[in-house]
Chains A and B, each alone.
Chain A
Amino acid sequence: MSTSRPVVITGMGAICALGDRGDLIFAALCDGVRPFGPPTTIPADTVPGQVVAEVREFAPERYLRPGNIRPLDRTGRLAVVGVELALADAGWTLERRESEVVGLVVGTMLSGVHTIGEFDRRALRAGPEYASALDFSNSVLNAPAGQVAIWQRLRGINSTIAAGAASGLQALGYALQLVRTGRADVLVAGGVEDVSFESVLGFARANRLAAPGDGGLRGGVPFDATQTGALLGEGAAFLVLEAEETAAARGARTIGRVPGAANGYDPGALTGTGGGEALAATIARALRDAGIPAGGIGAVSASAHGNPDLDRREAAAIEAALGTAVPVTAIKAMTGETLGASGALQTIAALEAMRSGRLPGIAGLAAPDSSIRIDISAATRPLDATRALVTALTPEGNCAALVVTV
């Protein structure tokens, strides 16, 4: 087993409130579209006035070959569509997946929490003998990965990664390591999260959401001093990571490369002494892993989501690792906080930005936090970069950094 093989990206697929194609999502990001509105898939009175970024009129059968989609819950359906789009983009046909081994890594924070809650509540209301056996098989936290593997015939490593809102980015770093070391030749990796009754109510009760009502539509803006929290979004985003030699052998198109990643933790985060140092150290390790000096990074796709304290820590970490000259975007202004899906969405945005020469602005950024010195902008800007950094920092202390190049 060779210790380090170059890893390339051969496909990308994403679905979120902004659209269901990477290029359309990216165009909406650059246009500063903020697709927030009242939720339609959960009871309107869950948190009165709370707005979210939903995938409206989601119709999985539009993307999938004919089959029985009934066993998949909303989380699983978003995931199977995201993976379908990525596999199709990479040219990994069903026939090819039957004869060769492809694996799957799914990042998710809450997985199918609505299915789990409904399963339990039905047993509480009617008695355990009335609980749904189908819902139980979807109640394990790796159910999306299992259901997608069945639908997409992915027989390789099948892993689920949980690191809160850093799950998707950690899933990509985990996949990178497995392909690099020869444990897998091809992995579909990314993340998924849906807007659910449990997540909207739970985040609201934890005071992590922008206040509802009229002000809600102006909430969830990263790096803005006037913000009071995030707005939830949903979606799925996946990339196909492949050993360069495997991709070359099948004549695949290469979208970009993943030269390095790192995973870290801020042990002060849960005790109120969290800072930016742990993420700064994680970024430094990712750059070392990639063999790229700090000065070689041309753009950053950050995880900030409108929590001023957390956003400041991420900005401080980026400044400590890269200085203040590198342009930074934070797409949760437009996608909402998509939790497990967000790291992969940020990564796709970084790749599209480098390919198209435009870095999406941070829509709604009206009062930039004066203590933040990194280079942020409300407006979409021209970009000339071939190496980008993607970062994630969670309230629980999870730190992730990934380097992508084109």
Chain B
Amino acid sequence: MEPRPRVVVTGIGVVTSIGIGVGPFWQALLAGTCGISPVESFDTSRYAQHIGGEVKGFDPAPFLRRLRPESMGRAGQLAIAASRLALEDAGVAPASVEPAAVGVSFGTTSGEPALIERFDDQEIGGARDAIGAEFIERYPCHTIAAHVAAELGFAGPNFVIPTACAAGNYAIAWAADALCAGGADVMLAGGSDCFSRITYTGFARLGAIAPERCQPFDKNRRGMVPGEGAAVLVLERADRAAARGARVYAEMAGYGLTCDANHMTAPQGDGAVRAMRLAMQDAGITPEQVAYISAHGTGTAVNDSVETAAVKQAFGAAAPNVAVSSIKSMLGHTMGAASAIEAAVCALAVHDGAMPPTINYETPDPRCDLDYVPNEARRQPVPVAMNNAYAFGGNNASVIFKASRP
């Protein structure tokens, strides 16, 4: 039985509320920078909450050479920016690679919600006649990956996996499989989601939005905070990366995907446990080897306690020794981008030997009793990191990154 080819991360591109580009982002993250601020992209006066994790002042123009910014939605713009940054970080010039050998795999929760919101504004405002071609041309979520590939000229495998808030992990998992199967030499894999009135309304209606700040795992946590952003990993087979002398952040060592098949919005825990176990089995890793978990950690009462219990069940006696942090304390919940950004964090943690903190952590919760890296980043070797993501639909996705042997 032949072992499958190893897949490594050779580039990272991020667009977030605390930094654009891997350097500024990682520095801000380790400094515990908060990217949550008053919402500006729509009027929140009729809502009980007014904060969000918007990427303010983002200008797509510098990242677009072939396509016009107005020809696509904001998630596509964020995705293209993250893709260009990731390729640059990887030292891969788009023109230097065989187009058919580069694929694009994106996750998203909402696709391009601004386009259906505009449709709805026109319909409600008695302006149905004004609804034009842009709705069908730009709303469907698969256009995110299409725009990235059209902008960069890539003809390899291409689609979007819209598995809600676990979508980034799904996209990365599929990209790694595509590389193993020989369907591509390079995969751009990530997630993108933009700030949306629909998403904000939904979480507000569920009573899930925190009023002032996001406090994952804290006893007094009061909810999540919607955010936006994008992240892209450049993935390659290890032999190709070595042959071109690429800098390697980490090896994408394995993954596990499961479904609770029980409730659309309430996590059950057993599916999360199965996903973590499958990922460790797939990666050939034992719980004792995992130094860091990037938690789903949304800051809602239910998620954080169910996730803690699931980690304890999956890790057993090793659970007290694994550090678990949630960067959603800083970025809010960037939806379909979240697990892609968090996968980037895992790769950076492995490469840099550091873990970002869970900020706003003040009061321990007896139901959340793990090491959450409270408030201060930690310098410590991270040979293995696990990225957990959970989603509406009962989706669970765990991906493991480990230090890459030469």
- The stretch among A48-56, A85-93, A263-271, A301-309 that forms the contact with chain B is A263-271
B97 interface residue, CB < 8 Å from A? Answer: no
In the assembly, what is the distance between CA of A266 and CA of B100, in Å?
A: 9
A215 interface residue, CB < 8 Å from B? Answer: no
Q: Which of B100, B206, B257 contacts A136 (CB 8 A)?
A: B206
B392 x A160 contact (CB < 8 A): no
B310 interface residue, CB < 8 Å from A? Answer: no
Closest to A198 in B: B119
B257 x A158 contact (CB < 8 A): yes
In the assembly, what is the distance between CA of A269 and CA of B150, in Å?
A: 8
In the assembly, what is the distance between CA of A161 and CA of B142, in Å?
A: 9
In the assembly, what is the distance between CA of A262 and CA of B392, in Å?
A: 29
A181 x B181 contact (CB < 8 A): yes
A142 x B46 contact (CB < 8 A): no
Instruction: Enumerate B113-159 residues with CB–CB distance to A below 8 Å.
Output: 113, 116-117, 119-121, 123-124, 128, 131-133, 135-137, 139-143, 145-147, 149-150, 152-159
Question: Interface digits, A97-135 against B, CB 8 Å rule (1 contact, 0 not)?
Answer: 000000110000111010011011101110111011100
Q: Which of B99, B133, B395 contacts A207 (CB 8 A)?
A: B133
CB proximity of B235 to chain A, nearest CB, Å: 15
A2 interface residue, CB < 8 Å from B? Answer: yes
In the assembly, what is the distance between CA of A150 and CA of B217, in Å?
A: 28
B201 x A137 contact (CB < 8 A): no
B276 interface residue, CB < 8 Å from A? Answer: no
A398 interface residue, CB < 8 Å from B? Answer: yes
B180 interface residue, CB < 8 Å from A? Answer: yes
B104 x A158 contact (CB < 8 A): no
Given contacts A281-B155, A398-B142, contact A174 B133 (CB under 8 A): no
B154 x A202 contact (CB < 8 A): no
Closest to B259 in A: A158
B259 x A205 contact (CB < 8 A): no
Q: Which of B100, B120, B163, B197 contacts A142 (CB 8 A)?
A: B163
**Interface of chain A, main secondary structure:** mixed
CB proximity of B224 to chain A, nearest CB, Å: 14
Chain A contacts for B113, CB-based, 8 A: 116
A205 x B264 contact (CB < 8 A): no
Chain B contacts for A205, CB-based, 8 A: 131-133, 135-136
B160 interface residue, CB < 8 Å from A? Answer: yes
Given contacts A110-B140, A139-B202, A141-B162, contact A121 B120 (CB under 8 A): yes
Given contacts A163-B158, A207-B133, contact A281 B116 (CB under 8 A): no
15 A–B contact pairs at CB < 8 A? A117-B119, A119-B201, A120-B117, A121-B120, A133-B202, A137-B265, A142-B392, A143-B393, A146-B259, A162-B111, A183-B177, A198-B116, A203-B136, A263-B178, A265-B158
Q: Measuring CB to CB, which residues of chain A are less than 8 angstroms from any residue of chain B?
A: 1-3, 71, 103-104, 109-111, 113, 116-117, 119-121, 123-125, 127-129, 131-133, 136-143, 145-147, 149-150, 152-164, 166-167, 170, 174, 177-178, 181, 183, 198-199, 201-203, 205-208, 262-271, 278, 281, 285, 396-398
